[in-house]
């Protein structure tokens, strides 16, 4: 049988990185071994369902470049792929267990169960159901839940792919609920029934589910079904060692997308949270990860979510983009800054300087910081203090003299010499002639032409702006310096 894995999110909110990491490991394994990756929406807890989140889940996978072979949107041989549409299957499994004497009806009220829990706490006993209804042989006349009749003695062994055999004392495991009073299944029943009917071969999930695994093992045994391979991944922690949460920063995939992380970078980063190809390889494309992925590369140590490392990885991916692709991805951020569309011609003028900008951008919204002044119309907004810089601080007349000298030099250049190297040579020669440091001369030019103290390399910027626009902006700066009190 080919490998079949499933990603079973609940539509209760935006998919977070821990949840998506599990989906990625499922997907990597399926693609590596030529198997199938299934998306199954686990929506049996209707009280927690949030409208629209199913689509957010699918959108997050699509954004990361993850496709699926079966799912709620495309169907498949073993559908439907929403648990709320599979209720007869769960009812049939529960009825079978009841008929075989491997499950029973329980009518205990929530008040009784609360009182039982409190008394167990006071007596310092392990919490759990006391099996009061187990031997009563109750019928279905009054409201009830259905519980699995767990073995009372011995151990249940969970054969985990990472840990080997993990033993649980049956005496410490209570008779868990399979069907709730409303007829909806619990996760413990629904996941087992669906994994069996969908022929899932490997269940990959976080190790917070390891304590529930003996319940699932016993449910499989009671139904006479073969278990899948169990893989319980170590949790993701923040830099402080605590479980990753909102206080460590963004947690949903959409938040990282909105912040300007590339999908390739986030996928690469998440792949390395608990898995590695070797001790040194960190930058891997999606296809390279698939080719190398295997369960033997998974570790037991908790994975640390280091935001700085993710940012560095994102910057690396941005630097490695084809310049045209970089401009295409940056365009929405530039248009958001300007509040208007940017035409293709305006974007194409940036192709030459794009590699220099890529060296500076760590998150894609920064694209606008380094490009807006190329396409903006009208005067730039900057302070005269920035224009003067340190060298001409409180000396507008000196800054004006410098700008006018630069204007004279730049006007004298032929159009054929309007390129980064000739521009640099001419302006450095001017600085030497004036007996001043190049930085003092360059600061007013940079601020006048970009409106910023920090910008792409000056001479590539002037080349990209072109001679007419450069002269126009330097003239505007000279006029401002000539009337500093305006």
Helix (H) or strand (E) holding 160: strand 155-160
Which of 246, 277, 393, 437 is an active site residue? Answer: 246
Helix (H) or strand (E) holding 287: helix 286-292
Helix (H) or strand (E) holding 366: helix 366-369
CA distance 272 to 289: 10
Of the candidates 288, 160, 307, 323, the residue with the CA atom closest to the CA atom of residue 232: 160
Report, in this order, helix, strand and coil percent for the chain, each rounded to 5: 50, 10, 40
Are 207 and 234 in contact by the 8 Å Cβ rule? The answer is: yes
Instruction: Count CA within 13 A, CB hemisphere, residue 400.
Output: 12
Backbone angles phi, psi at 74, to 5 degrees: -115, -5
Strand duo 4-7 + 229-233: pairing: unpaired
Residue 350 tokens, joined: 């940036």
10 Å CB burial of residue 468 (0-12, 13-18, 19+) is exposed
Cβ count near 384 (within 10 Å): 16
Question: Helix (H, G, I), strand (E, B), or coil: what is residue 271?
Answer: helix
Taking each continuous run of H as one helix and of E as one strand, the counts in the chain are 21, 11
Instruction: Tell me whether residue 246 is one of the annotated catalytic residues.
Output: yes
Greatest CA separation for the chain: 104
Tokens 């103290």 locate to 453
Give the residue numbers marked as catalytic: 246
């Amino acid at each position: 049988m080919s490998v079949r894995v499933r990603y079973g999110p609940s539509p209760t909110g935006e998919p977070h990185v821990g949840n998506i990491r599990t989906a990625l490991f499922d997907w990597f394994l399926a693609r590596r071994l030529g198997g199938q990756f299934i998306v199954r929406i686990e929506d049996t807890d209707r009280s927690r369902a949030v409208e629209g989140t199913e689509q957010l889940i699918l959108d997050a996978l699509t954004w990361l470049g993850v496709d699926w072979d079966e799912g709620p949107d495309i169907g498949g041989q073993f559908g439907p792929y929403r648990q709320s549409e599979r209720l007869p299957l769960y009812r049939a499994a529960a009825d079978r267990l009841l008929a075989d004497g491997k499950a029973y009806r329980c009518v205990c009220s929530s008040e009784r169960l609360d009182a039982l829990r409190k008394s167990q706490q006071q007596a310092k006993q392990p919490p759990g159901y006391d099996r009061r209804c187990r031997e009563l042989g109750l019928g279905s006349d009054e409201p009830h839940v259905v519980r699995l009749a767990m073995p009372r003695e011995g151990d249940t062994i969970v054969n985990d792919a990472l840990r080997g055999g993990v033993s649980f004392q049956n005496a410490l495991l209570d008779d868990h609920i399979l069907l709730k009073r409303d007829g909806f299944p619990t996760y413990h029943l629904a996941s087992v029934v669906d994994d069996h009917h969908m022929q899932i071969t490997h269940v990959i999930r976080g190790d917070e589910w390891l304590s529930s695994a003996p319940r699932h093992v016993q449910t499989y045994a009671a139904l006479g079904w073969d278990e899948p391979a169990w893989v319980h991944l170590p949790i993701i922690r923040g830099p402080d060692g605590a479980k990753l949460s909102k206080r460590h920063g963004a947690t949903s995939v959409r938040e990282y997308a909105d912040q300007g992380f590339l999908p390739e970078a986030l996928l690469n980063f998440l792949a390395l949270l608990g898995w590695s190809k070797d001790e040194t390889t960190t930058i891997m494309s999606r296809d390279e990860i698939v080719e190398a992925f295997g369960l033997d590369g998974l570790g037991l140590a908790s994975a640390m979510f280091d935001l700085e490392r993710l940012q560095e990885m994102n910057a690396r991916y941005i630097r490695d983009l084809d310049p045209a692709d970089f401009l295409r991805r940056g365009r929405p951020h530039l248009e958001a800054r300007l509040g208007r569309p940017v035409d293709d011609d305006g974007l194409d003028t940036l192709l030459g300087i794009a590699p220099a900008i890529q060296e500076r951008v760590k998150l894609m919204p920064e694209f606008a910081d380094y490009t807006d002044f190329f396409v903006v119309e009208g005067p730039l907004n900057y302070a005269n203090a920035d224009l003067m810089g340190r060298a001409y601080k409180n000396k507008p007349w000196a800054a004006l003299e410098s700008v006018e000298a630069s204007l004279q030099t730049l006007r004298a250049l032929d159009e054929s010499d309007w390129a980064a190297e000739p521009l640099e040579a001419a302006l450095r020669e001017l600085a030497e002639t004036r007996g001043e440091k190049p930085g003092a001369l360059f600061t007013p030019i940079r601020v006048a032409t970009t409106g910023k103290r920090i910008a792409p390399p000056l001479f590539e910027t002037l080349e990209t702006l072109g001679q007419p626009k450069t002269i126009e902006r330097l003239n505007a700066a000279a006029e401002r310096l000539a009337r500093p009190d305006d």
